[in-house]
Amino acid sequence: MTTHSKGYAAFKKDGDLAPFEFDRREPKPNDIVIDIAYCGICHSDLHVVEDSMGMTRFPVVPGHEVVGHVTHVGPGVTRFKVGDRAAVGCYTDSCRVCEPCKSDMQHMCVEGLTGTFGGFERDGKQQSWGGFSKNYVIDQDYAYRIPDNLDLAAAAPLLCAGITTYSPLRKWGVGPGKKVGIVGLGGLGHMAVKLAAAMGADVTVFTGSKGKLEDAKKLGANTVILSSDPDQMNGQMGRFDFILDTVSAPHDIQSYVNCLKPMATLCLLGIDPAALSFSPIGVVFGQKCIAGSLIGGVNETQQMLDFCGEKNITADIELLPAQAINDAFHRLSKNDVKYRFVLDMAAL
């Protein structure tokens, strides 16, 4: 028997989300069912509703920062019991046998991963619906445990904003003695500041918003630069070991390439489809690297959650009732959020 659910779907490009009922798959032996308590709103959810990449299949129920409590465990489940806190991130399955899957890079699965929403389950038939909904059916191997000490609502954004920033910070060896720049202080950016500071790095925030200068310091930045001020930007040239760019819209990356030390890396996280431009001269002569990074692997995601548990790190959130979903999306599109909207799904 399928698992009935309901939530909020977008039915057309740029359209508001509206109540929607649908079925999830019948739980299999290795599955758990999660009663969703909270779901964070990532800018990628907005890109999907805006269909900015031309890839959205409507109707779509977005949402991929999902936390809640287990209400059912299949007979093969060993990692969870009924009542446990559990979480769903950006994907819910992958082929499990390809080289990336075997090396905890499931998000790079050569057969394609099963997205938390907007795609199909491994059977190629059952649609995947996201976390702005009542429940989720997921294989235990792709579900996460939330450390007991973390507030559940504020932990939701860790499932995307947390892992997306943690993974490149670890990959590029951010820690004591490293000077790190974080570009854009939004959902991803504010998590990057907290995580890089907890890793012991010297953190600089580049923001275009005057209203975020004070917050950046409170979040853990040692230095804050107003990116619209050429004098402040010029003062940062050649100083950084690593820069993480979380900006969600077209912007000038040349100035951030200029801020790198020789042989250092600028890593892009934002996925606005517009082309970005830079001069090869500064990259070639400085032997610099412009890279990209996508979310993270299953084990790495659990490591990130455990690290956040140890360091007591969660997101700074504005908690709204599920019914306010369209207000939240509109405000996010205007860069009016400090620093992540999380929807309370309990009243659905």
The residues of the shown chain that bind ligand NAP, judged by CB under 6 A, are 42-44, 47, 160, 164, 184-189, 207-209, 212, 246-249, 251, 269-272, 293-295, 332, 335, 337
CA distance 256 to 70: 44
Name the residue nearer to Zn ion (CB basis): 101 or 266. 101
Structure tokens at 15: 């359209």
Q: Which does 335 bind (CB under 5 to 8 A by kind): Zn ion, ligand NAP, none?
A: ligand NAP
CA distance 117 to 64: 8
Closest to 261 in 3D by CA, of 234, 281, 243: 243
- Determine the interface stretch with Zn ion among 105-113, 137-145, 176-184, 249-257 (rule: CB under 5 A): 105-113
- Spatial contact of 186 and 45, defined as CB atoms under 8 Å apart: no
Closest to 187 in 3D by CA, of 328, 35, 10, 311: 328
Instruction: Provide the β-strand partners of residue 291.
Output: 267
Name the residue nearer to ligand NAP (CB basis): 92 or 248. 248
Tell me if 174 contacts Zn ion by CB under 5 A: no
Structure tokens at 35: 């009663």
Name the residue nearer to ligand NAP (CB basis): 30 or 209. 209
Q: Which does 151 bind (CB under 5 to 8 A by kind): Zn ion, ligand NAP, none?
A: none
Taking the complex as a whole, the smallest distance from the CB of residue 216 to ligand NAP amounts, in Å, to 8
Name the residue nearer to Zn ion (CB basis): 98 or 213. 98
Taking the complex as a whole, the smallest distance from the CB of residue 160 to ligand NAP amounts, in Å, to 5
Among 34, 73, 77, 109, the residue binding Zn ion under the rule CB under 5 A is 109
Q: Which does 109 bind (CB under 5 to 8 A by kind): Zn ion, ligand NAP, none?
A: Zn ion
Taking the complex as a whole, the smallest distance from the CB of residue 99 to Zn ion amounts, in Å, to 8
CA distance 160 to 187: 9
**Number of residues near Zn ion (by CB under 5 A):** 9
Whether omega for the bond prior to residue 59 falls within 30 degrees of 0, making it cis, is yes
Tell me if 108 contacts Zn ion by CB under 5 A: no
* 235-238, Cβ contacts within 8 angstroms, sequence gap of 24 or more: 236/181, 236/204, 236/206, 238/262
- Determine the interface stretch with Zn ion among 29-37, 156-164, 175-183, 285-293 (rule: CB under 5 A): 156-164
Q: Distance of CA 58 to CAs 199, 277, 295, Å?
A: 41, 32, 24
Binding to Zn ion in span 40-59, by CB under 5 A? 42, 44
Tell me if 183 contacts Zn ion by CB under 5 A: no
Compute how many other C-beta atoms are within 10 angstroms of the C-beta atom of residue 2. 12
Q: How far apart are the first and last CA of the chain?
A: 22
Residue ranges that bind Zn ion, judged by CB under 5 A:
42, 44, 94-95, 98, 101, 109, 111, 160
